[in-house]
Structure 1
Amino acid sequence: MLADFHPINIANHPVEVIKRADGTQIIRTIDALGEYPERITACLEQWAAKTPDRVCVAQRHVDGHWVELTYAETLKQVRAIAQWLLDVRVDGQPLGTERPIAILSGNSTEHLLVSLAAMHVGIPYSPISVAYSTISTDFGKLRHIIDLLTPGLVFADNLGPFCDAINAVVANNVPVVAVESAHAREDIKNPFTDFSTLLATEATAAVEEAAARVNADTVAKLLFTSGSTGMPKGVINTQQMLCANQEMISGFYAFVKEKPPVLIDWLPWNHTFGGNQNVNMVIYNGGSLYIDQGKPTPKAIHTTLANLRDVAPTIYFNVPKGYELMVHELKQNPDIATKFFSQLQMMFFAGAGLAQHVWDALDELAIQYTGKKVPMMTGLGATETGPAALFTSVEESASGVVGLPTPGTEIKLIPNAGKLEVRVRGLAITPGYWRDAEKTAKAYDEEGFYCLGDALKYLDESQPQRGFRFDGRVSEDFKLDTGTWVSVGGLRQFVIHHCAPYVQDLVVAGRDRSYLSVMVFPDMAHLRQLVQNNAQYTDADICRHPHVREVFERLISEMASASTGSSNLIKRLVILDQPARLDAHEITDKGSINQNAVLTNRADIVEDLYSAQPSERVISL
């Protein structure tokens, strides 16, 4: 099988399995974790000295050209900004753990510079989802975060879109820094400083004195969970978490130490995937980060494609929806496909399962342009785990497979309702939640393992080295009124894959009922392709169109034929014509569905699914 792939140096770490009398299992790698620095900006200093002229970060300017900063230039600007941050006072207090920095805007060179400067001198910062400021109408989640943080400084690239949010939730005495402000500075009451002032500050010995005090336990950043089960929690990220996790990653993906990675990446920095794994991978290994302002949507994907005309990544990270759109565009644009695959060593996905037809298409494209497949990898992690906790091997990588624990990480498997609940302990695990002792205490078991809430299943228990498969969220599982357990995660994945490409996500109903139903969030773009002259129809019309209904009647019948019993037999289905709502907590800013919130908010649809005489919108087996 490996002969089909381009050769790539990915380590194969042997594991040991310790089985206890109560059924609990401990799994860890035998190999020890390598050495790592105490703070992430030590890597910036290292590469600025070793490769001062290598591009560290680049972003496309509005006029179309790339604005690049070398490692030497990046370190110089980080020191200047750090000095300015050390000089800030709010009510006589310096910036620090009591007064961290809140970053409201998305990925940018300036965002990166502020974050590196803050970490360099031991000031915690928090990158906050842009959606909480610009899409939310009540600023509920943003207000909760700001109240919890008590920031001493707010940063935004372009002040204009964030004025309403700042005025609504930020205290008037908290200073604001922005790169672009136009007339927006007149719309806020807060003290304002232009970002250019920070860059013009002369760094003094105080910067390196502060950096010398930063250690492994220093709080580097606060990442807020996506709020899929309530209000976001502030996950403490220490310097040790960031650095140890990067050593864990390079301990698996050894090739990043052989050739500095080149990334062109859009993944948002308020999430651990983009902000910790990807950004820090570049800094840790002396690579180059090209910031992609595109997104995995039919419109914004073209920004990504324009960037890929210029930059050939060595590793490419994306979510499944992004890869689906990429496949279509790469087939249509051979010049971009040639560039994309020219230096590519590995692809990686997370956030959801990657549909097999998309995976197969990527393999076909890789073979077409390079002669061999490019490994597609994945794993398992969370905001609380740094994120990388488990990675797949090239041999076993498949949708739903999560692999084995990284060096320095051990997992505990607990028998729970017929499943193996997974808990994680290691050097990259958060010490807890910001200013929330109660939630922190509940997050760990008596041995200090973080309770992830997921379940795993051996690919082959007689061969533990093959790794594990994701077996759903323990908290989402429920029983039918017959007492039969329903594994929501596995069922959800099966339905999405079987109904591809028409289903974007779904919610499973049936707790304490006699049968299962699903509420489908459709992929409207693909759904519309089922209907001729679809421009004249609303989304609601499309969802109820006879041709669409006919397709889903066939799909629900096919799934029923493949079912093995009531735990995976879907008898009714509704296609939702209203997308999940952020303000109603139905969806997180990263697109994860909150199952319980959807079921609660749309209780009328649930009742319709279980009515003796359902409405016409219900598709029945």
Structure 2
Amino acid sequence: MYRSQYQLGPISESTGVWLHHWAQTAPDRIFLAERSGAGWRSETYRSALQKVRSIAQVLLARGLGAHTPILIISGNGIDHGLLSLAGQYVGVPVAPVAEQYALIHVAHDRLRHAANLIRPKLVYTNDAGEYGDALDLDVFEDCEIVSSNTRERPGTVDFREFLKGCNGVDVDAAFAQLTPDTLAKILLTSGSTSTPKGVLTTQRMLCANQAMIVDSLPFLELRPPIIVDWLPWNHVFGGSHNFNIILANGGSLFIDDGKPMKELFKRTVENLSLIAGTMSFNVPVGFGMLVDALRQDEQLRRTYFGQLDMIFYAGASLPQDVWTALESMAKETCGTVPLMTSSWGLTETAPATMIQQEPIDRSGVVGVPMTGVTLKLVPQGDQLYEMRVKGPNVTPGYLGDVQKTKASFDGEGFFLTGDAMRFIDFGDPAKGMCFAGRISDDFKLLTGTWVRVSPLREELLDCLGSVAKDLVIAGADQADIGVLIVPNLIELNARGFILVEDNGALLGAALFKEIHQRLAVCNRAGPGGSTRVARALILSEPPSLADLEVTAKGNLNNRKILNRRGALLKRLYDSADPATMTL
């Protein structure tokens, strides 16, 4: 067993307790803010509590309760946040889903699945016009549709009506009935290994996780945190981890309406230039884009690093060159380097379970167990361990799926994560662990050699640099490792590569030469059979969200890609095929 030697700190009863505390302690402090014209629309803690209670009255007056969840199909926004807190305030679960499911027509089957699983009585969207096609789906025929922008859509209720409250409804009585076991949220898994499941998320999970985080990051109690954050609230990282770090510690969350995408990142840069945060959360590709922007703008560097306590990456390892660039710019700008760190967890663990809370000089370390959790390390050979978790932050199970719930826990009550880890120093567990991928993604070659997919993928992406957006590693029951490369077409076009499409693959002599050289460098660094890439093929068709090749989080579904593109996989192992590069 692997656990912290420290005791878990005090746990609040519910998220509403935090809201009451800060509305009394710092009533005029900004809690939530979103862009409005050239400035920001904001809600203080006092106004947020008032509106949450009014919305909660309306929810109760409509007969909503523990068995009538609210489905939210919008991106991040103040009204979205207030509605979520109102549901949690009186025991009405909220279920935010990825907005791509609504906005992309071919992904509507995912939205149907979510609706059939959750069975909402009320559906919220911030814009009834933008999401109109999704709202017309037959699964919503018996639902009340509420929107902050009705666009005069017939039958849609204006969210402002909810802000008026409802006299005669005893919201205090409903709040008093909450317990740590009260269901607060239903969060859908990404669906990377199966159909998305509804993770039951209780008040205890949310509140215990914040106690664990404060135990690990005590600077959160020294001054109110401020973040400028785009991470989506339908995902546990943005919607539970980051949102509640702000609420639990009396901070301010400025909603970033940009994203780490070429057409939207300028907005992120603008927002970061307006607000100096104390914490910065992002995925590695976002930090990579930010480094480029920071290099070009001295004033942005001064604002960004000016009062920064922590840089936190998640989703994958931060490339070392990005890590080094952030460190050097912070030191040049302010003379100090903020804590640069990551952690590990799942939707089912609310999420944070392990964290690297001490300064280190490299990426990829997820640290040690947080207070209150116990990890069971099940050996997988080669000093590799499957992680199993027990603690107050662990889900009681999945919505409407007793069998899956039962199968997700072992005989001692530990949740089966399916993730693998290695110790940084096998002789010193206090130095923590690094993530080693999903057990289900790993495979054996015909030689009997195990291929650990996640660390190899990170190494290959580092070698390939900007020419590749992502890749899928193949080789199960084959003699050697092959990769299907998802090219970065914007970069390739900018560099003038001449490419020819060939039935799902790309051909191009100059590109082949560059990729061959880069993979050869990687092979020389790791020449063993478990890491040496023998062949590669470049995909012409990007991974498809509609065909479930991409999860709602933006991750590749390796198994789905390999199955759906079986013909290309066959070509990859045909050395005579002109699309296949051999090394």
TM-score range (shorter-chain normalised) is over 0.9
Task: Tell me if the contact between 1:381 and 1:388 (Cα under 8 Å) persists in the aligned partners.
Answer: yes
Question: Residues 511 and 307 of structure 1: is their aligned pair in 2 closer, same or farther, counting only changes over 3 Å?
Answer: same
Match of 1:176 in 2: 145
Do residues 302 (structure 1) and 266 (structure 2) align? yes
SS at match of 1:161: coil
Partner amino acid, structure 1, of 2:27? P
- Structure 2 residue corresponding to 1:356, chosen from 317, 320, 323: 320
Match of 2:407 in 1: 442
Task: Tell me if the contact between 1:80 and 1:199 (Cα under 8 Å) persists in the aligned partners.
Answer: yes
Do residues 424 (structure 1) and 393 (structure 2) align? no
Match of 1:97 in 2: 66
Match of 1:59 in 2: 34
Q: What do residues 6-64 of structure 1 show as CA deviations (whole Å, max 9, x unaligned)?
A: xxxxxxxxxxxxxxxxxxxx010111101111101110000001110000111111x22
SS at match of 2:548: coil
Match of 1:275 in 2: 239
Match of 1:78 in 2: 52
Question: Residues 52 and 544 of structure 1: is their aligned pair in 2 closer, same or farther, counting only changes over 3 Å?
Answer: same
SS at match of 1:343: coil
SS at match of 2:311: strand
Rounded Cα–Cα distance in structure 2 between residues aligned with 1:604 and 1:541: 9
Pairwise CA distance, 1:182? 1.4
Task: Tell me if the contact between 1:543 and 1:549 (Cα under 8 Å) persists in the aligned partners.
Answer: no
Match of 2:334 in 1: 370
Rounded Cα–Cα distance in structure 2 between residues aligned with 1:446 and 1:423: 12
Question: Residues 398 and 494 of structure 1: is their aligned pair in 2 closer, same or farther, counting only changes over 3 Å?
Answer: same
Pairwise CA distance, 1:565? 2.2
Match of 1:106 in 2: 75
Do residues 45 (structure 1) and 20 (structure 2) align? yes
* TM-score, normalised by the number of residues in structure 2: 0.97
Pairwise CA distance, 1:338? 1.1
SS at match of 1:180: coil
Match of 1:594 in 2: 557
Rounded Cα–Cα distance in structure 2 between residues aligned with 1:83 and 1:541: 55
Partner amino acid, structure 2, of 1:295? K
Aligned-pair Cα RMSD in Å: 1.8
Match of 1:480 in 2: 445
Rounded Cα–Cα distance in structure 1 between residues aligned with 2:237 and 2:107: 27
Pairwise CA distance, 1:333? 1.6
Rounded Cα–Cα distance in structure 1 between residues aligned with 2:313 and 2:247: 21
Query: Superposition pairs for residues 18-417 of structure 1, below 5 Å?
Result: 26-61=1-36, 63-88=37-62, 94-137=63-106, 139-183=108-152, 185-186=153-154, 191-202=155-166, 204=168, 206-396=170-360, 398-417=362-381
Pairwise CA distance, 1:472? 1.7
* TM-score, normalised by the number of residues in structure 1: 0.91
Match of 1:518 in 2: 483
Match of 1:555 in 2: 518
Task: Tell me if the contact between 2:150 and 2:156 (Cα under 8 Å) persists in the aligned partners.
Answer: no
Pairwise CA distance, 1:140? 1.2
Q: What do residues 317-355 of structure 1 show as CA deviations (whole Å, max 9, x unaligned)?
A: 000000000010111121111111111111100001111
Rounded Cα–Cα distance in structure 1 between residues aligned with 2:21 and 2:515: 57
Q: What do residues 575-603 of structure 1 show as CA deviations (whole Å, max 9, x unaligned)?
A: 21221111111110111111110001111
Pairwise CA distance, 1:410? 1.1
> Unmatched 5+ residue regions in structure 2?
none
Task: Tell me if the contact between 2:474 and 2:483 (Cα under 8 Å) persists in the aligned partners.
Answer: yes
Task: Tell me if the contact between 1:397 and 1:403 (Cα under 8 Å) persists in the aligned partners.
Answer: no
Task: Tell me if the contact between 2:101 and 2:111 (Cα under 8 Å) persists in the aligned partners.
Answer: yes
Match of 1:619 in 2: 581
Task: Name whichever of 274-283 and 536-545 sits farther off.
Answer: 536-545
Task: Name whichever of 167-176 and 248-257 sits farther off.
Answer: 167-176
Task: Tell me if the contact between 2:343 and 2:352 (Cα under 8 Å) persists in the aligned partners.
Answer: yes
Rounded Cα–Cα distance in structure 2 between residues aligned with 1:360 and 1:171: 49
Q: What do residues 384-422 of structure 1 show as CA deviations (whole Å, max 9, x unaligned)?
A: 011000001333463221100100111110012442111
Task: Tell me if the contact between 1:377 and 1:397 (Cα under 8 Å) persists in the aligned partners.
Answer: no
Partner amino acid, structure 2, of 1:164? D
Pairwise CA distance, 1:524? 2.7
SS at match of 2:130: helix
Rounded Cα–Cα distance in structure 1 between residues aligned with 2:505 and 2:44: 51
Q: What do residues 251-307 of structure 1 show as CA deviations (whole Å, max 9, x unaligned)?
A: 101001111100110000000000000000100000001000100012211111111
Rounded Cα–Cα distance in structure 2 between residues aligned with 1:309 and 1:395: 26
Pairwise CA distance, 1:374? 2.0
Question: Residues 341 and 169 of structure 1: is their aligned pair in 2 closer, same or farther, counting only changes over 3 Å?
Answer: farther
Question: Residues 538 and 516 of structure 1: is their aligned pair in 2 closer, same or farther, counting only changes over 3 Å?
Answer: closer
Pairwise CA distance, 1:170? 2.7
Rounded Cα–Cα distance in structure 1 between residues aligned with 2:430 and 2:488: 37
Rounded Cα–Cα distance in structure 1 between residues aligned with 2:502 and 2:66: 48
Percent identity, aligned pairs only, is: 38
Partner amino acid, structure 2, of 1:380? W
Partner amino acid, structure 1, of 2:572? L
Task: Tell me if the contact between 1:177 and 1:194 (Cα under 8 Å) persists in the aligned partners.
Answer: yes
> Unmatched 5+ residue regions in structure 1?
1-25, 89-93
Pairwise CA distance, 1:512? 0.5
Rounded Cα–Cα distance in structure 2 between residues aligned with 1:499 and 1:350: 21
Pairwise CA distance, 1:97? 2.8
Partner amino acid, structure 2, of 1:349? Y
Rounded Cα–Cα distance in structure 2 between residues aligned with 1:523 and 1:587: 16
Pairwise CA distance, 1:71? 0.5
